[in-house]
Amino acid sequence: MSLFPQEAAPWGFLLLAVLLTWLLLALLLPVLRRRLLDQPNARSSHRRPTPRGGGVVFVVVGSVLATLCGWGPASWLPVFCLPLALVGLVDDLRDLPPGIRYAAQLLTAVVLLVLVPSAPLPWWLMPLGLLAITAVINFVNFMDGLDGLVASCMIVLVAAAALAAGPADGAALAPMVGALAGFLLWNWSPAQVFMGDVGSTFLGALFAGLVLLQPDPIRALGLLLVAFPLLGDACVCVLRRLGAGERVFQAHRLHLYQRLQQAGWSHARVSLLYAGATAVLALGWLLADPWSQALLVGIAAAAGVGLDRRVAVPFSRALALSRSTASRKVP
C-alpha cells in the first residue's frame, strides 16, 4: 500500500529522488574518498583516483521511495534486489571471491523468478531463467567502465518500463529514475564518483525483474532488446574473449565502448551514443510495434559492427596490448 495518494503525480516522486540522491552523495563523498578510492591502473578508463560505491545512494533512495510511493508489484522489486546490492557493497570493500558473488546472483535470480513474473514460468524454463538473469546482472556490471554509461542507459530503460506500466507500477519506478538522474549528476564525465558493484549488480537484477514483470513474452523480449546497446556489447565481447582463450571474469579493456574510448572518443561521447541508441529502441518498444523494433535493433547491430571495424581500436590489437600488459606484471 502506498503512503501517498494514488492519484499523486509520479513526477513529484522523481524530483524528490533527484534531490535526495544528489544531496546524500554530496554528504557521502568525503567518506568514499577515504574508504573506497579507486586507483587507476593499466586496465582503467579513468586517469585520476575516483571514489566508488556511490551506487549505494540510488539503491537506498530508489528502493525506499518505491515502496512508499508505489502500490503495484514494481514497488517491491527493488527490495528483492537489495541483498545483492549488499553483497556488491561488501565486494567493493573487500573483493569477495567469485563463487560468493555468483551464489548471491543465483539466489537473487531464484527470488525474482519465484516472486516477480506476471505469469508463472514453466518448471523446465527455470534453469534457462536463472542463467539469463545472472548473465544480465554480470553484463550490466561488465559495462560499468565509462563515466555515465550505465547510469544514463538505465535511466532510459527504467523510464521506458515506467511509461509502459500502469499508474501503480509507474509511480513505483519514477523514484528510481530520479535517483539514477541524481547520481548521474555526480557520475557524468569527468566522474566524481563511480557506482561500484553495489550499484551495477543491483541495476542488472532490477532490469531483469522489469523484464519478468511484462504482461506477455513478446513485451518481455521487447524490453530485453531495448537494452541491446549494453547487453549486446557485453555478450559479443564475452564470446570473442572465450574464442581467444581469455578468462571471462578477468578485468580487461576489450568491450566496444572501451575500444571507442581508446580510439579517442570522450567518455561523454560514448555514453551519449549508447544512451541515445537505447532511447531510440525504447521508443520502438513503447510504440508496441515488434517489427519496427526488430528493424531498429538490426540497425543498431549494423552500426555497432561499423563502429567496431572502422572507428574503434581493433579487438586483436587491444587483446595483444592487454596480454602484453599482463605479461609484464608476471615476476
* Short-list 196, 202, 270, 190, CA closest to 233: 270
Provide the pLDDT confidence category of residue 9 given band limits of 50, 70 and 90.
low
Output the pLDDT for position 130. Answer: 96
Output the pLDDT for position 42. Answer: 65
Q: Report the percent of the chain where pLDDT is more than 90.
A: 77
pLDDT in tens, 150-179: 999 999 999 999 999 988 899 899 999 999
Q: What residues contact residue 331 under an 8 Å CB cut-off, 6+ apart?
A: none
Q: Helix, strand, or coil here: 288?
A: coil
Question: Which tops the pLDDT comparison, 12 or 66?
Answer: 66
Provide the pLDDT confidence category of residue 240 given band limits of 50, 70 and 90.
very high
Please provide the distance, in angstroms rounded to a whole number, between the alpha carbons at the two ends of the chain.
Answer: 60
Output the pLDDT for position 327. Answer: 55
Cβ(55)–Cβ(156) below 8 Å: no
Output the pLDDT for position 1. Answer: 47
User: How far is 105 from 85, CA to CA, in rounded Å?
Assistant: 10
Output the pLDDT for position 331. Answer: 42
User: How far is 297 from 284, CA to CA, in rounded Å?
Assistant: 9
Mean pLDDT of the residues in the chain: 91
For residue 33, pLDDT over 50 is answered with: yes
Output the pLDDT for position 209. Answer: 97
- State pTM to two decimals: 0.94
* Short-list 146, 234, 238, 241, CA closest to 184: 146
Strands (E), the chain: 37-38, 50-51
Output the pLDDT for position 5. Answer: 47
Q: Of 115-129, 162-176, 274-288, which gets the smallest average pLDDT?
A: 115-129
For residue 4, pLDDT over 60 is answered with: no
Residues 221, 223, 226, CA angle at the centre, nearest 5°? Answer: 110
Output the pLDDT for position 270. Answer: 98
Stretch 3-20: mean pLDDT: 74
